Amino acid sequence: MIKRFLNKLNDFFWARVHPMITPVLYNSFYLRRNDQEYENNRKFNDPLHLDRYGYKVYSQNDEDGIIQEIFKRIGTTNKTFVEFGVQDGLECNCHFLLFSGWNGLWIDGSEKCFKHLREYFQKPLESKQLTAINAFINADNINKLIGADGGVNGEIDLLSIDIDGNDYWVWEKITCIQPRVVIIEYNAKFPPPCEWIMEYNSSHIWDGGDNHGASLKSLELLGGRLGYRLVGTNRNGVNAFFVKKELAKDLFAEPATAENLYHAWGTAYVNSGHPTKKYIGNNSGKKSL
């Protein structure tokens, strides 16, 4: 009887109590340890920082709002995006842009996810507003996938990279497009000034561990070589945002370094609305950024 009671108590703790208290305990410990509360407030109170503008519509965290704010500052041109690593497309950085009337290309390597993507986004695929390719991405095939197969070349407004591994090496190789804004995941385990890049592996599949991507400092340096300026990161410590140097001007926070713009992983939680089950764009009204 006692054993049964203890088992039920254990199940109740892990199912109900643990999910509620873990984020609180984790964040409280983290903030005390690294003074993250001060850093979050410092960035949030500076209007040039992007922190205060983030919100979620279809993005994983607060990326949708940050994207909107960036283009509010620098303007748009052809409202074209390229995003890879979208899974089924329901929760990604460019879903809301598609919803808002942009055109673009999605690429994902999962056959299962791609099947769902084609079902969910049938309307924009049929109208050619969206092109989708099912392919496993590496540094050798990325230009062919985007330029030849996807039909996107030259200047575009946004490139989003999320492949949980060779992100650094793939971004370095892209030449068929010249995005004005780049979003790329960084490995927040390695805070600045740490420079770390995952060893290139063309067949890499993320196993949930820490061997993926690159540190923010390494991406800052790569972006600089490619003509981009780091302008911010999202508050959950997942994505870094880059803008062409000639467009950034004095519109974003200074200094434009990883040390100034870094966010640790999981120090804030952003959510909005109910989960997305299907694409509901193209229904009514004029949508634009």
Q: What is the pLDDT of residues 65-97, one digit of tens each?
A: 999 999 999 999 999 999 999 999 999 999 999
Q: What is the CATH architecture of 22-261?
A: 3-Layer(aba) Sandwich (3.40)
DSSP string, 181-237: EEEEE--TTS-TT---BPPP-TT----SSS-SSB-HHHHHHHHHHHTEEEEEE-TTS
Three-class secondary structure of residue 103 per DSSP: strand
Spatial distance between the Cα atoms of 280 and 120, rounded to a whole number of angstroms: 9
Give me the pLDDT at residue 209, please.
86
- If you average pLDDT over every residue of the chain, what do you get? 87
Please tell me which of 147-161, 260-274, 275-289 the model is most confident about, judged by mean pLDDT: 147-161
Q: Where do the domains of the chain lie?
A: 22-261
Going by their DSSP bridges, the two strands 228-233 and 239-244 should be labelled as antiparallel
What number of other Cβ atoms are within 10 A of residue 128's Cβ? 9
Please report, for the chain, how many H helices and E strands are present, in that order. 12, 7
